Amino acid sequence: MKIAVIGASGNAGSRITTEIARRGHSVTAIARHPEKIASEANVTATKGDLMDQAALTRLLAGHDAAISSVHFLASDPLKLIGAARDSKVARYLVVGGAGSLEAAPGVRLVTTPGFPLVYKAEAEKGAAFLDLLRAEKELSWTFLSPSALFVAGERTGKFRLGTDQLLTADDGKSSISFEDFAVALADEIERPAHIRKRFTVGY
């Protein structure tokens, strides 16, 4: 497949780019600073501005899937969704956040008293992004939320999938590595199971 990754130089985006490329797919790795993208087989580093909807639409056109891996506070969801829709890309996948997951039935994690204040604004914007997608009538979208702790680690290929509830391990921790998150996202592209849905991944 031909897959575009918006934000390919970031922590999650770089791992996603590598995972998809290593599976033999052709990746258009889009970033404001493409020189930061590692040189890899099957990867074409491309300069792109996520705030320029028309230019982004042109970059995404002709791809089988587009992945958005950008900070919510540094982007405009309407422009990203609009570019994905206007480009006629077959699928649009979003690297989500944990804040929109439910800590209890009907209670989003971002609204709980213990949620770190430093991440609150980003999490709220991510939740708003998900709400916009759920109202979208045309786009074939998927929103993948990581667990609460989303950090560099190992590619184990061993993890659990969930839907709207925060996943926690037996020790109470909620975590996933960038590397295993990339595996889950690549699996979803190759074997679609969450069309027009949000799902989550964790240990």
Q: Is 82 exposed, middle or buried (0-12, 13-18, 19+ CB in 10 A)?
A: middle
Q: Is the pLDDT of residue 150 over 90?
A: yes
Identify the band that residue 136 occupies on the pLDDT scale cut at 50, 70 and 90.
very high
What's the whole-model pTM score? 0.95
**Model confidence over 1-15: pLDDT tens digits?**
999 999 999 999 999
**Sheet containing strand 197-202, strands side by side:** 43-47, 26-31, 2-6, 65-68, 91-95, 141-145, 197-202, 160-162
What is the C-alpha to C-alpha distance for residues 101 and 109, in angstroms, rounded to an integer? 6
pLDDT recorded at residue 154: 96
| Range 125-139 average pLDDT | 94
What six digits make up the tokens of 116? 């770190």
What six digits make up the tokens of 31? 């970033």
pLDDT recorded at residue 38: 87
pLDDT recorded at residue 66: 98
Contact 37, 45 (CB under 8 A): yes
Angle at 175 between CA 3 and CA 93, to 5 degrees: 20
In sequence order, what are the residues at sequence separation of 6 or more whose Cβ sits closer than 8 angstroms to the Cβ of residue 99?
Answer: 108, 109, 110, 115, 119, 120, 122, 123, 124, 126, 127
**Model confidence over 174-187: pLDDT tens digits?**
999 999 999 999 99
Q: Is the pLDDT of residue 103 over 90?
A: yes
For 199, half-sphere exposure in the C-beta direction (CA atoms, 13 angstrom radius) is 19
Average pLDDT of every residue of the chain: 96
Give CA separation, 95 vs 35, 39, 104, 114, in Å: 22, 22, 22, 23
Identify the band that residue 40 occupies on the pLDDT scale cut at 50, 70 and 90.
very high
